[in-house]
Chain A
Amino acid sequence: MSTATSEFIQNLPTAEQAIARLREIGMPKRNNELWSFFPVAKIPTPEFMGTDFAASSAANPAAAPAANETAAQSPAENAPAIKESDFAALLPIANNARPMIREIADGADEMAMLKCNNDFGHTVLDIGKGAKVSLEILDNKVTHDIAAERFDINVGENADVEIFFANPACDLPLRFRHFNINQAAGANVRFSSICKDTAIGRISIECHLKGEGANFDYRSLHILDGEASQHSRLTIYHEAPRTVSTQLARNLLSGSARVSYDGSVIVGYDCTGVNSSQLVNTILMSEDASVSVKPVLKIYHDDVECTHGNTVGELDAEQMFYLVSRGIPKKAAQEMLMRSFAQETFLPLPDSPAKKRLMSSL
């Protein structure tokens, strides 16, 4: 492994640092852009935030104490400061999730399934140059009120990595999954997911395209019903020339289901030839279902191509007519179109274990 990858592992925050930082940033609030759409009042205040903090937060979640007040009382007051600012990213570490660290050798060809057996999990993967890796993330079988997982994934030059999950509907009341992904030159990462969960959840991704030609492909599908409330927060940093990112998020929402998609693309100075696209397609199957979308583009270089789009609608009326005009009952026709809408999300993926798993679960 290179020096850079070793640094990657060494630079991961400790529990003390995470607690100190959490006390500094406080509990998530709606006026924090990372949590604009999330029902933050549903997040219980962890004990390590301190009694004063918990009491004041419970009384008025929007008025958490200033970070410095509580940080001064922290047992981790001497820990070096860290900059990470996403509550969900720090939560597993602050809860002493034991990191599962795995290094994958240069040129390796591996398939793996990752499953966390605790409420809080932390997985660290350091993937070598030219490696080909397929990672399926399985659900952890915890039964508590909150679960949080964090994945730190460093992808070496020209490695090809697929990360995916398509688990059965999960009814955990509150779940966070956070991914930190660093990609070296020429590294390809395809992140694909299907979520049918029935409660509250959030997936957050910070992807750093650090090397020239790195490519990040994100595809997500939410099929939600009832009171499900699922939220996605992506930040993609194009930090090198000719890096490419693609985001496709599709939602099929029934009942009172709610989805939000908060996707930011940041293109740095001197990052010529960057190409980035973001597309969110939602089909609302009921009056009470809703979607919120917030695209953010911060571009600090001229020679780039960035697009974003958002569509919200119902099933295509002409397609419905075509199917029923062939004798297919309306309900079956709706199901066919919903399946088609869902499958289209993943059709462009190369043939791989991820594509097979995702398509078979639809």
Chain B
Amino acid sequence: MLSIKNLKASIEDGTQILKGINLEVKPGEVHAIMGPNGSGKSTLSKVIAGHPAYHVDGGSVELDGKNLLEMEINERANSGLFISTQYPTEIPGVNNVEFLKMALNSKRAFLGQPEMSDEDFKKLCEEKMNLLEMDERYRERGVNDGMSGGEKKRNEILQMAILDPKVSFLDETDSGLDIDALRIVANGINHIMSPEKAVILVTHYQRLLDYIKPTYVHVLRHGKIILSGGPELALKLEDQGYDWIEEA
């Protein structure tokens, strides 16, 4: 489904952040990526999404056999990729619902589908907002505008729920969430997840993985995946940190 091969990327000053990432994600799988700060986790999501601050030095990223790196940013999204960044951008003045509708209809246009009617969109929006126990006030607000960290993360998952991507790359979705919000967001992700889809979670803590059971856990360090394992790896990392890996 998502195939990342020897992906290398650098920032403007030439510093290479990703130094050869390899990752195979199949439908129905949940992959957790853990690693110390500065290891390249957030960079990985942004490079896959096409963020202009990064330069791809080599490698490939394919989604269902199509090379994402050759696509425009919006085409990657419309092909089924969803990226949630660690710090969702605030866009005051762009209404949340109008933005969501525009995004959904852009995807439908890309896929050759007709625009969704206002009525159907309203129903869809209501359904997903109920799933995430979101307040009606979200409709009136600007995109992430003035929202707390937790509200932003919930808003990200609402977008994911509405856009219904094949692969979602969620960067520290659990940061800024209190215990109740974590449960709600995790339940939302589980609800959206299906055997045809895949999720990649970037997290520092086991607590998110208590709710969303990973198929695989990977450790990213110095721009490379240096260790992969099952869910038990996350528990060990939580207990012992990362130093033992280098020692091993």
A337: chain B residues at CB < 8 Å are 91, 94
A323 to B103, CA, bound (A): 8
Please tell me if A12 contacts chain B, counting CB pairs below 8 Å.
no
Q: Which residue of B lies closest to A328 (CB)?
A: B106
Is the C-beta of A324 less than 8 angstroms from some C-beta in chain B? yes
* Residue B236 is within 8 A (CB to CB) of chain A in the complex: no
Given A321-B73, A340-B142, is A326 in contact with B93 using a C-beta cutoff of 8 Å?
no
Could you tell me the distance between the alpha carbons of A341 and B142 in the complex, rounded to whole angstroms?
12
Interface residues of B in 138-166 (CB under 8 A from A): 142-143, 159, 163
Which residue among A323, A325, A329, A336 has the maximum number of chain B CB atoms within 10 Å of its CB?
A325
A330–B74 CB distance below 8 A? yes
| Separation of A322 and B83 alpha carbons in the complex (Å) | 9
Interchain CB contact (< 8 A) of A327 among B92, B107, B142: B107
Q: Does B214 contact A (CB under 8 A)?
A: no
Residue from B50, B72, B76, B99 with most neighbouring chain A CB atoms (10 Å): B99
Bound CA span A327–B107, Å: 6
Taking a contact as CB atoms under 8 Å apart, the answer to whether A318 and B163 are in contact is no
> Which residue, A318, A328, A330, A341, has most C-beta atoms of chain B within 10 A?
A328
Tell me if A322 and B89 are in contact (CB < 8 A): yes
B49 within 8 A of A: yes
Bound complex: CA A321 to CA B51 (Å):
7
Docked Cα-Cα span, A28 to B215, in Å, equals 76
The answer to the question of A332 belonging to the interface, with a C-beta cut-off of 8 Å to chain B, is yes
Number of residues from A at the complex interface, CB < 8 A: 24
Q: Which residues of B contact A318 (CB under 8 A)?
A: 89
Q: Which A residues from 299 to 320 make CB contacts under 8 A with B?
A: 317-319
Say whether A325 contacts B52, CB under 8 Å. Answer: no
Tell me the complex Cα distance, A236–B74, Å: 47
Assess whether A336 is in contact with B83, with CB atoms less than 8 Å apart.
Answer: no
Partner of A329, one of B74, B76, B94, B99: B74
Bound CA–CA A343/B89 (angstroms): 18
Cα-based distance from A329 to B50 in the complex (angstroms): 14
Partner of A319, one of B52, B83, B89, B159: B89
**Residue ID in chain A nearest B143 by CB atoms:** A322
Q: State whether A325 touches B83 (Cβ < 8 A).
A: yes
CA of A310 to CA of B40 in the docked complex: distance in angstroms?
A: 36
User: Which positions 13-32 of chain B face chain A at CB distance < 8 Å?
Assistant: none
Q: Which residues of A contact B99 (CB under 8 A)?
A: 323, 326, 328, 336
Chain B nearest Cβ from A311, distance in angstroms: 15
- Whether B78 sits at the interface, judged by CB under 8 Å, is yes
Residues of A within 8 A of B93 (CB): 339-344, 347
Are the C-beta atoms of A327 and B77 separated by less than 8 Å? yes
Q: Which residues of chain A from 124 to 181 have any CB-CB distance to chain B below 8 Å in the complex?
A: none
Given contacts A336-B99, A347-B93, A325 and B88 within 8 Å (CB-CB): no
Query: Contacts A327-B78, A343-B93; is A322 near B107 (CB within 8 Å)?
Result: no
Q: How far is the CA of A326 from the CA of B50 in the complex (A)?
A: 12
Residue in chain A with minimal CB distance to B49: A325
Against B, the Cβ 8 Å flags (1 = close, 0 = not) of A98-135 are: 00000000000000000000000000000000000000
Q: How many Å from the CB of B90 to the closest CB on chain A?
A: 8
Known contacts A321-B51, A321-B52, A340-B142; is-contact A327 B110 (Cβ 8 Å)? yes
B91–A319 CB distance below 8 A? yes
Bound-state CA distance A95–B50 (Å) is 61
Instruction: Determine whether the beta carbon of A328 is less than 8 Å from that of B89.
Output: no
CB-defined A-B contacts under 8 Å, sample of 14 = A317-B52, A318-B89, A321-B73, A325-B51, A325-B73, A325-B74, A326-B77, A327-B103, A329-B74, A336-B102, A337-B94, A340-B94, A343-B93, A347-B93
Which B residues are closer than 8 A to A by beta carbons?
49-52, 72-74, 76-78, 83, 85, 88-89, 91-94, 99, 102-103, 106-107, 110, 142-143, 159, 163
A325-B50, A330-B72 known; 6 new pairs, CB 8 Å cut-off, are: A318-B89, A324-B72, A325-B76, A327-B78, A327-B106, A344-B92
Would you list the 7 A-B pairs with minimal beta carbon distance, nearest first? A340-B93, A327-B77, A326-B103, A322-B89, A327-B78, A327-B106, A324-B73
